[in-house]
Chain A
Amino acid sequence: MRLNRRDFLGSIAKSSALVLVPGFLGACAHQGAPLAPLEPTGPSTSTSNTWFREHFGIDERVLQRVMERALSRGGDFCDLYFEHSIDHSIRLEDGAVNSARSAVELGVGIRVVQGTRFGYAFTEELTLESMLKAAETASTVASGAPGKAPERFRVPPRSNFYPIETHWDTLGIDARIPLLTGINQRMFAADKRIIKANIGFYDAVKRILVVTSDGTLVEDFQPMAMMSASCVAEQGGRRERNSHALGGRHGLAYYTPARQEELATVAVSRAVALFDAVKPPAGEYPLVLGPGPSGILLHEAIGHGIEADFNRKNISIFADKLGKSIAIPEVTIIDSATHPNTRGAINVDDEGNPGQHTVLVEKGILSSYLHDRISSLHYKVASTGSGRRESFRFNPLPRMRNTYMENGSENPEDIIRSVKRGIYAEAFTNGQVRIGEGSFSFYISSGRMIEDGKLTSPIKDVNIVGNGPEVLARISRVGNDLAIDQGGWTCGKDGQSVPVSQGMPTTLVSSITIGGSRS
Chain B
Amino acid sequence: MELKTEQIAQQAADIAKSSGAQNSRIIVTRERFISLTQSNGVLESIEESSSATLSAQLFVDGRYSTHTSNDLRPEALKSFFSQAVAMTRLLTGDAHRILPPAELYQGYQDQELKLLDPAHSSVTMAQRRERAQQLESSIEKSRGKLNHAEAGIYDSQTESVLVNTNGFLGRAQSTVYSVSINMTASDAQGHKSRDGDAAVSRFYGECPALQTIGERGLQRTLEALGAKPIKTQKLPMIVENRVAGRLLRNLMMPMNASALQQKQSFLEGKKGQILFSPLLTMVDDPFILGGLGSRTFDSEGIPARKRTMIEKGVLQEFWIDTYYGNKLGWKPTSGSSSNLVFQGGERDLEALMKSVGKGILVTGFLGGNSNSTTGDFSLGVNGFYFENGQKAQPIAEMNVSGNQLEFWKQLVELGSDPYPYSSVRAPSLLFNDVLFSGV
Contact = CB atoms under 8 A, between A and B. Distances in A.
Interface string A192-205: 00011010000000
Nearest to B67: A102
Given A117-B42, A282-B437, A443 B367 contact: yes
A232 B64 CA distance: 25
B148 A313 contact: yes
Interface stretch (A64-72, A120-128, A221-229, A483-491): A120-128
Interface string B285-314: 000000011000000000000000000000
A316 B147 CA distance: 10
Contacts of A8: 154, 176, 178, 200
Interface in A412-439: 429-439
B374 A240 contact: yes
A451 to B, nearest CB: 19
A451 B70 CA distance: 56
A100 B87 contact: yes
Interface string B316-357: 000000000001000000000000000000000000000000
B66 A516 contact: no
SS class of chain A's interface: helix, strand, loop or mixed?
strand
A439 B382 contact: yes
Contacts of B264: 196, 232, 239, 241
A317 B244 CA distance: 27
Contacts of A319: 147
Interface in A380-418: 393, 395
Interface in B67-119: 67-71, 80, 83-84, 87-88, 90-94, 97
Interface stretch (A134-142, A262-270, A334-342): A134-142
Those 8 A-B pairs whose CB atoms lie nearest each other, nearest first: A515-B399, A436-B194, A441-B367, A1-B196, A282-B437, A432-B367, A463-B378, A441-B380
13 contacts: A5-B154, A8-B176, A13-B243, A14-B364, A90-B91, A97-B92, A102-B68, A117-B42, A173-B91, A282-B436, A437-B193, A441-B366, A517-B401
A156 interface: no
Interface residues of B, number: 110
B263 A232 contact: yes
Given A2-B182, A134-B49, A460 B148 contact: no
Nearest to B221: A436
Interface of A: 1-3, 5, 8-9, 12-16, 19, 90, 93-94, 96-107, 116-124, 134, 137, 140-141, 172-174, 177, 195-196, 198, 232, 234, 238-241, 279, 282-284, 300, 313-317, 319-320, 393, 395, 429-443, 460-467, 513-517, 519
Contact of B397 (A1, A118, A439): A439
B438 interface: yes
Contacts of B403: 517
Nearest to B149: A313
Interface stretch (B12-20, B161-169, B275-283, B419-427): B419-427
A117 B44 contact: yes
B204 interface: no
B368 A313 contact: no
Nearest to B368: A463
B367 A96 contact: no
Interface stretch (B136-144, B184-192, B385-393, B409-417): B184-192
Nearest to A312: B148
Given A141-B45, A395-B45, A465-B397, 18 more contacts: A2-B150, A3-B152, A8-B178, A9-B293, A15-B194, A98-B94, A102-B66, A119-B45, A120-B49, A313-B184, A314-B184, A433-B366, A436-B192, A439-B380, A441-B399, A463-B399, A516-B437, A519-B232
